[in-house]
Structure 1
Amino acid sequence: MTSAAPGRRGRRPGSPDTRAAILSAARAAFASGGFAGSTVRGIAADAGVDAALIHHYFGSKADLFVAALELPADPRILLAEAVAGGAEGAAERMLRVFLTVWDDPEMRAPLLAMIRGVFEPSGRTLIRDGFLAVVVLPIGRQLGIDEPERRMPVAASQVIGLIMMRYLLEVEPLASMPADEVVAIYAPTLQRYLTGPLA
């Protein structure tokens, strides 16, 4: 029995580097085509694997997208309990989760790397055409708020501003402000974006 010739072409079998190849292909696809413009089949072809392997390793296309962001934790899981509490008081609950994660030095480093990547064209596509669709808008729908497509980007702009000032630029007094004080300042405005009048 002869062995396969070196350089043999075809589908990549399940192997230790298969997951990494899928993630690499997914990051490239999502960065260039956004979430809606990328397909599991196309990503599988770029990675040299069968599409079934993507579902095996990652589950859904949304799960693959979140994995491709290389975040220290899945924000959908982190926010699940806060979202399950309903729209009333959601801003405070979500901000407390958010601050707990970002104030952890081990979690902050990879999150800051992602934020810095937003200033690259591919990073903008990942956030605008991916993260908003996969993470942010579904939160609004799960909360049951009206006009989530309008409200959630506005709410996200408030949180992104907080990230920039507190963690990236480290502007005082916000950078060293206790979490409870940040929540007290930001939660009412964020809650209005979620459930109050926008105009």
Structure 2
Amino acid sequence: MEPEFIVEIDCTKEELFKACYDYRYESSSYPTASKVFIFCFVIGFFSTLFLLIIPSPIFLNKVNIFIRIMAPAYFLITALYYFNVPRLWQYSTIATQYNINLKKLLMLKKNAAAEDLEQLRAIKKGHITGTLIFYSDHFEYSDLLNNTYLVHFVYEKNDHFIIVAHKYKMVFLIKKSLFLKGTPEEFRTFLDEKHQASRPGQRDNTSQ
């Protein structure tokens, strides 16, 4: 199958975080969702915190104490997770790039051989490089074996595109100056035709 577009990606850890941030906070659904979430958090957290301070006769003592402690903790943890999604996507993309998970990372630190230390430095640096090859129905990432990706979200800015593949929790920053085959204008038309129709609720046409 002949590829439609070939793009070289060269993305620093900081650029990747900015791309994840843009994906999270500038997508069309976020402003409304964030207001609803903040409202629910304020009501839930402070009401359960009030129950933690003021004893309630509704439950038995032990159950009551457990619920009163866990309920505000749950709301707080949920809020921390919700507002740290960009950072989590950044870490997930870097981990997938280097084919690493928490267990492998701990083993690398434990072994501490010269090659392991070099890999740890590369992971810490978090530099994302490689080639994206776009076909009519999917795209491939040259640095990862046997994985094909679907475009779930597209965001465009003046000098780059952000492509998100939800299944693998990968965020790709495509700079418009690094197209090896095709042009940014043709790529935009390609994304409109192939992906906006299939996922209209997950694409943001805003160009800033």
Fold match, TM over 0.5?
Answer: no
> Larger RCO: Structure 1 or Structure 2 (Cα < 8 Å, ≥ 6 residues apart)?
2
TM-score computed with the length of structure 2 as normaliser:
0.25
* Rg comparison, structure with higher value: 2
Q: Which of the pair is proportionally richer in helix?
A: 1
